[in-house]
Amino acid sequence: MNGFCCICFLFLHLSLAGCNFPSAFCSNLVSAIQSANSHLGRLDLSYNKISATGMNKLCDGLISPYCRLKKLKLKRCVLTKTSCLYLVTVLKSNSHLRELELKSNDLQDSGVKQLSIGLQDPQCKLEILGLSGCMITEVGCRSLASALTSNTGHLRELDLSYNHPGDLGVKLLYAKKDDPSCKLETLQYVLILMYIILHVGILTL
């Protein structure tokens, strides 16, 4: 057992943000988070170049029945749509994960579409999802809107600020506030509010 794993066993919360570790380091993380001796509940890996390769390894640990991680931050980690394919396996597993922060990654609409598939899975327990600045357009908003009305969805907070939803994307998401099957309580969308202001009359507030 390496020293890093022993350290992880001591903490409930661990931040490695901005440590500039390579994607290969994720193998050490996997050993830690999937151990029956680990109690790690929150992990912040923001501002590291994890990429799809590291994400693939990390997700192997996240789907472990021994993983107790509830909150994972991956801001600006050079993640792409391929990374989302791996994250879907986590969302579809019987995961403890409740909060996922993916701010400032180039996920685009194709990546969000994959995430939306995971959000609709009966096993998904995710409650908070951060997608600020992920290059999402109207197409991605449509996928998310569909996921928000899933009968199995638990999502209550969604951050879509600094994306490009377009008028239709705004309408699709805003309409969910009155949908009884949608559990969303907080929808953060700075640019969406700008659209509402600029296009007076497209929505009834």
Rounded Cα distance between 183 and 153, Å, is 7
Per-residue pLDDT band for 198 (boundaries 50, 70, 90) equals low
Longest dimension (CA), the chain: 62
What is the residue-wise DSSP string for 22-63?
-GGGHHHHHHHHTSTT----EEE-TTS--HHHHHHHHHHHHT
pLDDT tens, position by position, 80-114: 999 999 999 999 997 799 999 999 999 999 999 99
Tens-digit pLDDT profile for residues 144-164: 999 988 756 789 899 998 898
> Binning pLDDT at 50, 70 and 90, where does residue 205 land?
very low
First to last CA, the chain: 57
Q: What is the pLDDT of residue 199?
A: 56
Q: What is the pLDDT of residues 2-34, one digit of tens each?
A: 555 555 556 688 898 999 887 778 888 888 888
Class of CATH domain 13-199: alpha beta
pLDDT over 60 at 194, yes or no: no
